[in-house]
């Protein structure tokens, strides 16, 4: 608690959530979450759909109010106009009028700030050169997101929120937009990025905060997150019961489909030795390092026994 | 740039872009401008005939169809746009930026007034050029401000409808409110020529009171100016109150 109070007055903290809870009727979107965003860092809030990422951004932007806890942004209340003039945002719901031109949108948003960035700089930073006179409705998906980035940059923000900036884009447009976002981060701006794409978090952020069902379950640099979740995947055809495998040392997850059994473990050797000892008919043994994506799925609490919407069914052996 | 100039500039940009945005949308700009003109050409000019009361037919209908056009520009320009933009998240995006909330409404008001003025100029111009009506400067000074003042109650009504309706249903709902209300309020056919049942309903419709005020400015209408103003004032207040309640529930 003391630490928290201290952090609130700290000029090195650009934004903070202190013991914040936010509910929508029966659903608790954020459950007693505390998070400090340090000035100059790029934080990726990573989590599956419904983890509470957009709610966290809404609270920091001041468009939502917490049910409990405190939100501080740039040393003040995020709903204040003074605070709002120092932040920029790319939101997920962000339809802007289709029959206005890129340049008109940028000029309008620049007019909201006392000392805006000049138009040419904004257009160049967002990679919109040559599209100034294009109507918003005629832009491609990637170009639309670039315009939203441009609008977010108009006020020379000290703090920039990017809520799922590339989730609607194809791989090519996504990687192209990363370049512009990377340049904004390299310019020293504080950036809070939400994503469900671990590759994006890894490519852009200095720090990853893993959010799952309204709780922060891990936080660290991309390397730390990878190390913490470093694991092996063991795959084989076996008749052993999944609950028996789950009891083996270091096993974090067991999943069985029609044919194969997939086992995640911190170190593979003891598990393999035990498996071979227990099942002499075991075949098709494969051992590999987990990808970052799998590491992420290991950390995110699975729905026991039920299929996840974004992947195969994972059975948590620890329960 | 000092603060006052910056605020004026924002309001001016918002208003200008609101106008351009709608002008570039043929479904709005063409139907808003062309329907009153088309109706006037068909029912006001093509039929011919003697004066209505003491007012020459071309002038009477130019005023009645202008009033019809103003109501349309407000209900669609304000109402349908508010509903659609709420659906797109445009309001939510603006709230995340230091966009002045009032500028949104001022810009829509400006836009509705600009389209209304265009309709009035076209119809009164046709009345003079094609209908042979004589309109002096004194007549214009009386009738144009009254017609333009109609943007207040009907923008408020559009705003209320725009905050109640969903983005997909808004245009249909607005048409269902607008067209019967214009007809029964005496904007297409003089109210005294309407069936008696509809004549009995007319005084409950804001379109009737607005049409009577506008026609009164060219020497037609029933002359109960104070009663019409009170009704339109009450409609404005009720619509604004309704809009703010619905908006606070579901922005």
**Considering only A19-23, A107-111, A306-310, which range has the smallest mean pLDDT?**
A306-310
- Say what the pLDDT of residue A169 is: 85
Counting the structural domains of chain A, the total is 2
Range of the domain at B182: 28-249
Alpha carbon of A5: minimum distance to chain B alpha carbons (Å): 26
Of B112, B122, B145, nearest to B214 by C-alpha is: B145
Q: Going by C-beta distance under 8 Å and a sequence separation of 6 or more, which residues neighbour residue A108?
A: A100, B10, B13, B14, B17
Q: Which of B13, B29, B23, B33 is nearest to B107 (CA)?
A: B13
The whole-number pLDDT of residue A76 equals: 87
Position B6 in a domain: no
Q: What is the four-CA torsion angle of A300, A293, A180, A173, rounded to 10 degrees?
A: -120
Contacts with B77 from chain A: Cβ below 8 Å: none
Same domain? A212 vs A255? no
Catalogue the E-assigned strands of chain A: 13-24, 27-38, 42-46, 68-73, 87-90, 159-163, 190-195, 207-212, 215-220, 232-237, 251-256, 261-265, 283-289
What pLDDT is attached to residue A318?
A: 32
* Mean pLDDT for chain A overall: 84
Query: Do A172 and A257 belong to one domain?
Result: no
Among residues A176, A200, A226, which one ends one of the domains? A226
Evaluate whether residue A304 is within a structural domain: no
Q: Do residues A80 and A109 touch, judged by C-beta distance below 8 A? A: no
Based on the fold, state whether residues A59 and A194 are members of the same structural domain: yes
Q: Flag whether pLDDT at A314 surpasses 80.
A: no
What are B165's strand-pairing partners? Answer: none
Q: Which of A167, A198, A226 is the last residue of a domain?
A: A226
How much is the pLDDT for A298? 66
Q: Find residue A315's DSSP bridge partners.
A: A254
- Residues A106 and A210 grouped into a single domain: yes
pLDDT at position A248 over 80? yes
Has residue B140 been placed in a domain?
yes
CA A314 from chain center: how many Å? Answer: 21
What pLDDT is attached to residue B16? 96
- 3-class secondary-structure state, position A285: strand
Do A247 and A127 fall into the same domain?
no
Residue B229 lies in a domain: yes
- DSSP for A50-82, please give it: TSSHHHHHHHHHTSS--SEEEEEETTB-TTSHH
pLDDT confidence of residue A268? 84
Chain B: closest CA distance from residue A311 (Å) = 30
In a domain, B2, yes or no: no
pLDDT digit string (tens) for B81-121?
Answer: 999 998 888 888 888 899 988 999 999 999 999 999 999 99
In the predicted model, what is the mean pLDDT of residues A67-78?
A: 91
Which of B6, B20, B99 shows the shortest C-beta gap to A100?
B20
What are the backbone angles phi and psi of residue A93, rounded to the nearest 5°?
-90, 110
Tell me whether residue B107 is in a domain: yes
* Co-location of A194 and A233 in the same domain: no
- Assess A35–B contact: CB distance below 8 Å, yes or no: no
The answer for A 65-84 residues in CB contact with B (under 8 A) is 81, 84
The Cβ of residue A197 has, within 10 Å, a number of other Cβ atoms equal to 16
Query: SS3 string of B136-187?
Result: CHHHHHHHHHHHHHCHHHHHHHHHHHHHHCCCCCHHHHHHHHHHHHHHHCCC
Q: Report the gap between the CA of A112 and the closest CA in chain B (Å).
A: 6
Count Cβ–Cβ pairs < 8 Å, chain A vs chain B: 68
Say what percent of chain A tops pLDDT 70. 86
Range with lowest mean pLDDT among A70-74, A122-126, A171-175, B126-130: A171-175
Indicate the residue of A63, A96, A99 with minimum beta-carbon distance to B25.
Answer: A99
Same domain, residue pair A88 and A146: yes
Residue that wins the pLDDT comparison between A246 and A162? A162
**A221-246: average pLDDT:** 81
Q: Based on the fold, state whether residues A121 and A261 are members of the same structural domain.
A: no
Mean of the pLDDT values across residues A103-108? Answer: 96
Domain that holds residue A244: 229-299
pLDDT of B150: 96
Residue B7 lies in a domain: no
A312 within some domain: no
Q: Residue A234: what pLDDT?
A: 87
Last residue of a domain, one of A208, A226, A244: A226
Asked, for residue A311, whether it belongs to a domain, the answer is no
pLDDT band at B67 (very low <50, low <70, confident <90, very high): very high
Q: Which position has the higher pLDDT, A49 or A8?
A: A49
A47 and A7 belong to one structural domain: yes
Token code pair at residue B110: 């400006």
Give per-residue pLDDT as tens, B158-186: 999 999 998 899 999 999 999 999 999 99
A97 interaction partners in chain B (CB closer than 8 Å): 17, 21, 85, 90
Q: Does B21 fall in a domain?
A: no
A263-282 confidence digits (pLDDT tens): 888 778 888 888 888 888 88
- Residues A9, A123: one domain? yes
CATH of the domain at A243: 3.30.70.920
pLDDT over 70 at A134, yes or no: yes
A290 lies in some domain: yes
Confidence of residue A312 (pLDDT cuts 50, 70, 90): very low
Percent of chain A beyond pLDDT 90? Answer: 38
Total number of domains in chain B: 1
Q: Is the domain of A93 the same as that of A238?
A: no
Q: Residue with structure tokens 């390092």? A: A289
A241 in the same domain as A127: no
> Has residue A311 got a pLDDT over 60?
no
Q: Is B20 on the interface with A (CB under 8 A)?
A: yes
Q: Does the CB of B250 have a partner CB in chain A at under 8 Å?
A: no
Using an 8 Å Cβ cutoff, are A157 and A113 in contact? Answer: no
Q: Would residue A319 count as lying in a domain?
A: no
- Quick one: pLDDT at residue A315? 37
User: Comparing A186-195, A252-261, B132-141, which segment has the lowest mean pLDDT?
Assistant: A252-261
Q: B178 lies in a domain? A: yes
- CB contact under 8 Å between A93 and B92, yes or no, is yes
A13: tokens are: 């903290």
């Amino acid at each position: 608690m003391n630490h928290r109070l201290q952090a609130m007055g700290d000029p090195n903290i650009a934004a903070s959530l202190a013991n914040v809870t936010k509910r929508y009727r029966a659903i608790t979107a954020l459950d007693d979450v505390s998070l400090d965003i340090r000035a100059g860092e790029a934080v990726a809030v990573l989590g599956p759909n419904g983890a509470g990422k957009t709610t966290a951004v809404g609270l920091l932007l001041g468009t939502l109010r917490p049910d409990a806890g405190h939100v501080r942004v740039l040393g003040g209340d995020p709903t204040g106009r003074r605070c709002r003039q120092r932040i920029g945002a790319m939101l997920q719901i962000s339809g802007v009028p289709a029959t206005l031109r890129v340049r008109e949108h940028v000029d309008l948003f620049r007019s909201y700030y006392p000392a805006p960035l000049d138009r040419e700089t904004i257009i160049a930073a967002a990679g919109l050169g040559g599209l100034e006179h294009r109507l918003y409705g005629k832009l491609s998906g990637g170009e639309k997101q670039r315009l939203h980035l441009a609008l977010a940059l108009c006020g020379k923000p000290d703090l920039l929120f990017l809520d799922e900036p590339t989730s609607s884009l194809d791989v090519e447009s996504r990687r192209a937009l990363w370049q512009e976002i990377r340049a904004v981060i390299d310019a020293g701006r504080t950036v809070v990025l939400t994503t469900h794409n671990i590759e994006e978090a890894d490519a852009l952020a200095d720090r990853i905060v893993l959010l799952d069902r309204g709780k922060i379950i891990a936080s660290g640099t991309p390397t730390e997150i990878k190390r913490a979740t470093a694991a092996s995947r063991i795959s084989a055809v076996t008749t052993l019961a999944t609950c028996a495998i789950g009891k083996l040392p270091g096993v974090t997850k067991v999943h069985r489909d029609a044919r194969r059994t997939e086992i995640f473990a911190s170190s593979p050797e003891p598990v393999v030795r035990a498996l071979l000892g227990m099942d002499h008919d075991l075949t098709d043994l494969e051992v590999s390092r987990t990808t970052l994506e799998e590491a992420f799925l290991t950390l995110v609490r699975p729905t026991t026994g039920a299929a996840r919407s974004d992947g195969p069914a994972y059975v948590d052996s620890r329960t | 740039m000092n603060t006052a100039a910056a605020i004026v500039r924002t309001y001016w940009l918002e208003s200008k872009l609101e106008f351009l945005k709608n002008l570039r949308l043929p479904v709005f700009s063409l139907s808003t401008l062309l329907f009153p003109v088309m109706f006037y050409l068909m029912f006001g000019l093509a039929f011919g005939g003697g004066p209505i009361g003491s007012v020459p037919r071309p002038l009477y209908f130019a005023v009645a169809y202008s009033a019809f056009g103003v109501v349309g520009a407000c209900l669609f320009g304000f109402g349908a746009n508010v509903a659609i933009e709420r659906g797109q998240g445009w309001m939510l995006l603006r709230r995340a930026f230091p966009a002045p909330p009032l500028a949104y409404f001022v810009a829509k008001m400006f836009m509705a007034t600009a389209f209304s003025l265009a309709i009035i100029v076209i119809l009164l111009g046709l009345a003079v050029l094609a209908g042979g009506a004589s309109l002096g400067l004194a007549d214009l000074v009386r009738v144009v401000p009254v017609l333009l003042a109609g943007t207040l109650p009907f923008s408020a009504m559009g705003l209320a409808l725009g905050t109640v309706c969903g983005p997909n249903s808004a245009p249909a709902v607005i048409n269902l409110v607008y067209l019967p209300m214009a007809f029964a309020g005496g904007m297409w056919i003089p109210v005294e020529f309407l069936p008696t049942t509809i004549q009995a309903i007319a005084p409950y419709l804001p379109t009737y009171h607005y049409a009577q005020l506008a026609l009164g400015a060219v020497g037609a209408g029933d002359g109960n100016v104070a009663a019409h103003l009170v009704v339109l004032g009450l409609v404005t207040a009720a619509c604004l109150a309704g809009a703010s309640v619905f908006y606070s529930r579901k922005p």
